[in-house]
């Protein structure tokens, strides 16, 4: 991925846009979203992030996940080789207010965040009785 992020400008441009002074450089984590009748199941891979370093915010029509790796290279350790990123993870998902942010349930385990994003009542499929 490092090759791609240096070759393709779009990733850098995104990092700049996401930078609002407090985060600096960030990488987009791997994630997937599965759609179901009641909501969306979001899985975000955040290796090295503990509960303390994780921040999920819902504002306007954006859901933002920021994960800061808990580990810092101890003094006295020399890096021989490294492929892992040391910058925070940031994922911003835009939605059209179709999810019920009050009912979001999230769980972080072994570096994987699993969140259920329930669909807002008004958007769920509903059967209408015909008299």
Partner 1 sequence: MHMVRYANQNNRSSGSGLATVSPWTGLENEIDRLFNTALTNFGASRFGHQFPVGVYEDANNTYVRAELPGVNRDEINVEMVDGSLNISAARKQKNGDVEESFSFSRSISLPDGIHTDRVAATYENGILTVTLPKREEAKPKKISVTVN
Distance CA 2, CA 99 (A): 34
Who contacts 12 (Cβ-Cβ below 8 Å, separation ≥6)?
5
The answer to whether residue 99 forms part of the interface with partner 1 (CB under 8 A) is: yes
Cβ distance to partner 1 smaller for residue 60 or 131: 60
Who contacts 14 (Cβ-Cβ below 8 Å, separation ≥6)?
28
Q: Which of residues 37-66 bind partner 1 (CB under 8 A)?
A: 40, 43, 45-50
Residue ranges that bind partner 1, judged by CB under 8 A: 1, 4, 8, 10-11, 13-14, 28, 30-36, 40, 43, 45-50, 70-71, 73-74, 76-85, 93-96, 98-99, 109-112, 117
């Amino acid at each position: 991925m490092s090759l791609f992020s240096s070759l393709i400008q779009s990733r850098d441009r995104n990092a700049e846009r996401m930078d609002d002074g407090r985060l600096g450089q960030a990488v987009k984590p791997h994630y997937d979203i599965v759609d179901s009748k009641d909501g969306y199941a979001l899985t975000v891979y955040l290796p090295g992030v503990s509960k303390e370093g994780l921040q999920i915010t819902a504002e306007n029509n954006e859901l933002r996940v920021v994960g800061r790796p808990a580990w810092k290279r101890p003094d006295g350790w020399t890096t021989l080789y490294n492929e892992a990123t040391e910058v925070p993870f940031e994922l911003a998902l835009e939605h059209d207010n179709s999810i019920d942010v009050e009912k979001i349930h999230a769980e972080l385990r072994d570096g994987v965040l699993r969140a259920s994003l329930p669909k807002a009542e008004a958007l769920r499929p509903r059967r209408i009785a015909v008299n």
